[in-house]
Amino acid sequence: MTDPAPSPSFRLAYVAGVTPTKWTRIWAERLPDVRLELVSLPALEVADALRDDTVDAALVRLPVDREGPRPLSVIRLYAETPVVVIPKDHVISAVDEIGVEDLAGEIVLHPLDDLLEWDALPGERAAQRPETTEDAVELVAAGIGVVVVPQSLARLHHRKDLTYRPVTGAPESPIALAWPEDATTDLVEEFIGIVRGRTANSSRGRAAAETGPAPKRKASEKTADKAAAKAAAGKLPSGKASPKGSAKGSAGKSGAKGAPAKGTAGKAAASKRSGKGSGGRGRR
């Protein structure tokens, strides 16, 4: 007796701060027979996990190495607002937002896993770089400095003694879907459709992928269909539609049988006016 085939699954990685809940819910509704496995990974490890097939696709924080030994396809989804994490009693907490120039006098921590693409780091450098964003937040709580992070990470590492404010002029943090370029499977296409907001009946869905797009109809086919529809409605006799010129000719012939044709009526009227008719000869 052979073992039953394993049930299909789709492995989706995601980085800290990204919440895939709304997409996983749609996946469960559309593909209940395919298990979705969520894998949380550090931002700097996602590209390797994709290339060695540990996961099928990933919600990543840009930038990511797209080339490398195995190129990755990337679809940008949205961008996060940068915020500065500060102690609750910090002077910055008195305002709703600050400009990046307002950090000039601050010690700004720069964790090793930071992916914000700064043209030039603001503020003063700390003596050492913390390993992770979480470590940097701990240092902020200890009064060592401040740190600029994507808003979702500030929420993720929230503490009662800390707060955060938006920073204008700081780089945003784009979130994207990535997968190996040579592994664009049907399930990857399904997830692309979900994150792009396609409906279940979209032409890019699984059914369309199996059957292919509907072929374009020729103009002659459309004309034949219109003629058949008119015939069915009683506008034309069944069979082939009569050409426009032939229809006019038929009308002229039927008129000649029952009533004087237009040409005959015209001659009779002319005869009457000129006195050439039988009544005219009687008067003379």
Question: Per mean pLDDT, which range of 26-30, 79-83, 227-231 is the poorest?
Answer: 227-231
276 within a domain of the structure (yes/no)? no
Which of the 8 DSSP states describes residue 66? -
Write the burial class of residue 243 (CB in 10 Å: 0-12 exposed, 13-18 middle, 19+ buried): exposed
102 and 165 co-located in one domain: yes
Contact 156, 17 (CB under 8 A): yes
Torsional class of 253: left (φ above 0), alpha (ψ -120 to 50), beta (otherwise): alpha
Q: What is the mean pLDDT of residues 16-26?
A: 94
Confidence of residue 69 (pLDDT cuts 50, 70, 90): confident
- What is the longest distance spanned by two Cα atoms in the chain? 133
Confidence of residue 283 (pLDDT cuts 50, 70, 90): very low
Strand-pairing partners, residue 57, are: 12
Pairing of strands 107-109, 124-125: parallel
Last residue of a domain, one of 211, 237, 272: 211
273 within a domain of the structure (yes/no)? no
Spatial separation of the C-alpha atoms in residues 118 and 172, rounded to whole Å: 10
Q: How many domains does the structure of the chain reveal?
A: 2
Confidence of residue 200 (pLDDT cuts 50, 70, 90): confident
18 and 153 co-located in one domain: no
Spatial separation of the C-alpha atoms in residues 200 and 190, rounded to whole Å: 10
Contact 95, 84 (CB under 8 A): no
Asked if residue 251 has pLDDT above 90, the reply is: no
105 within a domain of the structure (yes/no)? yes
Across the chain, mean pLDDT equals 80
22 and 161 co-located in one domain: no
89 and 156 co-located in one domain: yes
91 within a domain of the structure (yes/no)? yes
50 and 183 co-located in one domain: yes
51 and 181 co-located in one domain: yes
Spatial separation of the C-alpha atoms in residues 239 and 233, rounded to whole Å: 13
Q: What is the mean pLDDT of residues 25-42?
A: 96
14 and 64 co-located in one domain: yes
Spatial separation of the C-alpha atoms in residues 117 and 171, rounded to whole Å: 6
pTM of this prediction? 0.68
Distances (CA, A) of 220 to 214, 215, 243, 247: 17, 14, 14, 20
131 and 109 co-located in one domain: yes
Q: What is the mean pLDDT of residues 221-246?
A: 52
Asked if residue 122 has pLDDT above 50, the reply is: yes
Last residue of a domain, one of 154, 171, 188: 171
140 and 180 co-located in one domain: no
162 and 93 co-located in one domain: yes
Q: Number of helices and strands (H, E) in the chain?
A: 10, 11
143 and 87 co-located in one domain: yes
Domain that holds residue 40: 9-79+174-211
Whichever domain contains 133, its CATH number is 3.40.190.10
Contact 64, 173 (CB under 8 A): no
43 within a domain of the structure (yes/no)? yes
53 within a domain of the structure (yes/no)? yes
Confidence of residue 100 (pLDDT cuts 50, 70, 90): very high
Please tell me the number of Cα atoms within 13 Å of 99 on its side-chain side.
2
4 within a domain of the structure (yes/no)? no
Asked if residue 174 has pLDDT above 80, the reply is: yes
Which of the 8 DSSP states describes residue 248? H
Confidence of residue 231 (pLDDT cuts 50, 70, 90): low
Roughly what angle, to the nearest 10 degrees, separates helices 186-195 and 21-30? Answer: 130
17 and 74 co-located in one domain: yes
- Look at residue 248 in the predicted model and tell me its pLDDT: 45
Last residue of a domain, one of 162, 192, 211: 211
Q: Which residue has the tokens 């005219």?
A: 280
113 within a domain of the structure (yes/no)? yes
Selected residue with higher pLDDT from 230 and 213: 230
- Look at residue 4 in the predicted model and tell me its pLDDT: 57
